[in-house]
Homo-oligomer: A and B are copies of this chain.
Amino acid sequence: MFVQDAWYVACTPDEIDAKPLGRTVCGHALALFRDAQGRAAAVEDFCPHRGAPLSLGFVRDGRLVCGYHGLEMGADGRVCAMPCQRVQGFPTIRSFPVVERYGFIWVWPGRAEHADEAKIPRFDWLASPDWAYGGGLYHIDCDYRLMIDNLMDLTHETYVHASSIGQPEIEESVPATRVDGDTVITSRHMQGIQAPPFWAAALRANDLADDVPCDRWQICRFTPPSHVMIEVGVAHAGHGGYDADPRYKASSIVVDFITPETETTHWYFWGMARNFKPGDAELTASIREGQRRIFGEDREMLERQQRNISAQPQRKLLGLNIDAGGVQSRKIIDRLIAAERQAPENLRSA
């Protein structure tokens, strides 16, 4: 069950640099490539001639050429040409709205006429020179909603990430969750704690002492269909915590674009944006590697959780206060899916 009328991150630009990319988004097998104007495009990964995956082909003059018999597909899903063939009567395949923004290629798997670029949330810091960004991609064998649960309840850091960002104080402070329209915010604030290893390093990278009492915060923000941005940071205690002057804190934004592939698998675009030392490429690389390792720790837990749930699908799970972020996020997803189903054009086709 996915929201279809929404923008999802399909890939990063480097993934379509050298050749087309085949990737499944919300159950749609897509071939992603760049057209003659250099604009990213997505069409069904299915050649209308004999069903070969178009992504196995190549791009020539902005057309996606099937690697089997040379059919040339346009970014609009219309066949442009094929050797020795008249292609006017060839069936058109589906093309998908695509936008390139913030260093990502976004795709809209739902009804094209509803695809409005303005519906891509604003992530200005992803495009600002005052910020640096580093990230990566994991393919994870679980329902994308288990990943949303994971990110909207950071209590798990104490257990899953005990050696890096976890610390007992996280689980000792109850988070607060509130819903604001289609946004869910879960906040947790810890006072006068010791910075855990990851944050101690961030303080040092920020030229701040790492051995003094700190305030720490985690503010998780879900926006549909499945984005979770987390403001995280520490400040030297007594300077206002989250609101402290930049001189006293190290903070960043954990970026999570979660793109369903099938009902039980997803693509997880993870990263971190920071607004200190943005030009320090070595620091960016080092943070990325730390994050890659940390987020890899979630992987086994999530995939094994999925297998457990799939084996006993009838079994009820608990929804505790710490789970409120995930529970509220799922409610919004469910509401949006229900609304899509009620849409007149969908009722007609049902």
A contact set with B: CB distance below 8 Å: 29, 45-46, 48-53, 56-57, 65-70, 82-85, 90-91, 149, 153, 155-156, 158-160, 171-174, 300-301, 304-305, 308-309, 311-312, 315-318, 320-323
Most buried by B among A50, A83, A305: A50
List of B residues within 8 angstroms of A90 by Cβ: 318
From DSSP, what is the main secondary structure of chain A's interface residues? loop
Interface contact B323-A70, CB-CB below 8 Å: no
List of B residues within 8 angstroms of A56 by Cβ: 300-301, 304
A318 vs B321: C-alpha distance when bound (angstroms): 56
List of B residues within 8 angstroms of A158 by Cβ: 70, 83
Known contacts A49-B318, A56-B300, A68-B156, A308 near B84 by CB under 8 Å: no
- Identical subunits present: 3
Sorted nearest first, the 5 A-B pairs with minimum C-beta distance are A83-B171, A51-B309, A52-B305, A51-B308, A53-B304
Known contacts A29-B308, A51-B317, A308-B51, A84 near B156 by CB under 8 Å: no
Interface contact B46-A312, CB-CB below 8 Å: yes
List of B residues within 8 angstroms of A52 by Cβ: 301, 304-305, 308
List of B residues within 8 angstroms of A171 by Cβ: 69-70, 83-84
Which residue of chain B is the closest to A44 with respect to CB atoms? B312
A48 vs B317: C-alpha distance when bound (angstroms): 6
Interface contact A50-B318, CB-CB below 8 Å: yes
Interface contact B312-A67, CB-CB below 8 Å: no
Known contacts A84-B174, A172-B83, A305-B53, A159 near B46 by CB under 8 Å: no
Interface contact A156-B51, CB-CB below 8 Å: no
Interface contact B153-A301, CB-CB below 8 Å: no
A308 vs B50: C-alpha distance when bound (angstroms): 10
Interface contact A49-B320, CB-CB below 8 Å: yes
Rounded to whole Å, the gap between the CB of A23 and the closest CB of chain B is 14
A78 vs B151: C-alpha distance when bound (angstroms): 27
Known contacts A50-B323, A300-B56, A312-B46, A305 near B160 by CB under 8 Å: no
Which residue of chain B is the closest to A170 with respect to CB atoms? B83
Interface contact B68-A301, CB-CB below 8 Å: yes
Which residue of chain B is the closest to A83 with respect to CB atoms? B171
